[in-house]
């Protein structure tokens, strides 16, 4: 019952924030509380064997290996660990505004190339162009900050483990349009397991 209400709230918050980014101020606090509360049981409740498949499909299509990667809304760190495993030279930051999620992620870190930090995706504490890859898995897209911290020539991967059935879901055409407005091109879509993903490149200056 509580779980169903949380899913409904996540869906509603996603719709509101994508339609009106200014509403983030309203949903931020209750959403953080929801994710703090479910952090200890997140992996048991939500993480299936196919959870990472769409993100992995997008990562497999990257033309080169990123040196600096960010997994935004990392939760318990599944996406960050996937990136670290796929790119053995990469240093990977997993960021999440839920301190409880970050505590869980730190207990699962697989090496010192991974770092987990409490940070709000709408006001990231990273320099412009700080990352060659920014990933978001099952996370409300935050286009302006993602564009700012992605290095020219770098990539953004956005994935949803259960496609349109994911409580936090934004149609890929909408994501593509938002990214193209911010100078991303070379957009490709992927389907893996029940999930969908999109990969796009931030064009270097002409």
Ligand X SMILES: C[S@@+](CC[C@H](N)C(=O)[O-])C[C@H]1O[C@@H](n2cnc3c(N)ncnc32)[C@H](O)[C@@H]1O
Site residues, ligand X (CB under 6 A):
35, 73-75, 78-79, 96-98, 101, 120-122, 137-140, 142, 168
Residue closer to ligand X (CB basis): 11 or 153: 11
CB of 185 to ligand X, least distance (A): 25
Q: Select from 167, 171, 168, 160 the least CA-distant residue to 194.
A: 160
CB of 8 to ligand X, least distance (A): 14
Residue closer to ligand X (CB basis): 127 or 203: 127
CB of 75 to ligand X, least distance (A): 3
Q: Do the Cβ atoms of 94 and 117 come closer than 8 Å? A: yes
Residue closer to ligand X (CB basis): 66 or 78: 78
Residue closer to ligand X (CB basis): 168 or 179: 168
CA distance 130 to 201: 15
Cα–Cα separations (whole angstroms), residue 43 to 37, 47, 125, 152? 13, 5, 27, 34
CB of 112 to ligand X, least distance (A): 21
CB of 7 to ligand X, least distance (A): 10
CB of 95 to ligand X, least distance (A): 6
Reported in sequence order, the residue ranges of the chain that DSSP labels E, i.e. its strands, are 68-72, 91-96, 114-118, 131-137, 150-160, 184-192, 195-202
Residue closer to ligand X (CB basis): 138 or 150: 138
Q: Find the residue with minimal CB distance to ligand X.
A: 75
Residue closer to ligand X (CB basis): 78 or 154: 78
Pairs from 42-48 (Cβ < 8 Å, separation ≥ 24)? 42/75, 42/76, 42/101, 42/104, 43/76, 43/78, 43/104, 45/3, 47/76, 47/78, 48/161
Q: Do the Cβ atoms of 120 and 101 come closer than 8 Å? A: no
């Amino acid at each position: 019952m509580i779980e169903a209400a949380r899913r409904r709230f996540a869906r509603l918050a996603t719709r509101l924030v994508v339609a009106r980014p200014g509403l983030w101020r309203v949903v931020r606090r209750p959403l953080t509380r929801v994710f703090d509360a479910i952090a200890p049981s997140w992996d048991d409740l939500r993480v299936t064997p196919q959870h990472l498949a769409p993100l992995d499909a997008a990562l497999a299509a990257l033309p080169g290996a990123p040196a600096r990667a960010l997994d935004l809304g990392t939760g318990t760190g599944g996406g960050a660990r996937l990136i670290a495993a796929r790119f053995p030279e990469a240093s990977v930051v997993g960021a999440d505004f839920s301190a409880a999620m970050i505590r869980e992620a730190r207990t699962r870190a697989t090496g010192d190339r991974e770092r987990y930090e409490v940070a709000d995706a709408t006001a990231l504490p990273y320099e412009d162009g700080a990352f060659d890859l920014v990933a978001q898995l099952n996370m409300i897209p935050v286009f302006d900050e993602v564009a700012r911290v992605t290095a020219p020539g770098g990539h953004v991967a956005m994935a949803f483990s259960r496609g349109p059935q994911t409580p936090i879901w934004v149609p890929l055409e909408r994501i593509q349009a938002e990214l193209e407005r911010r100078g991303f091109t070379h957009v490709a879509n992927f389907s893996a397991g029940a999930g969908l993903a999109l990969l796009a490149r931030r064009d270097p200056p002409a």
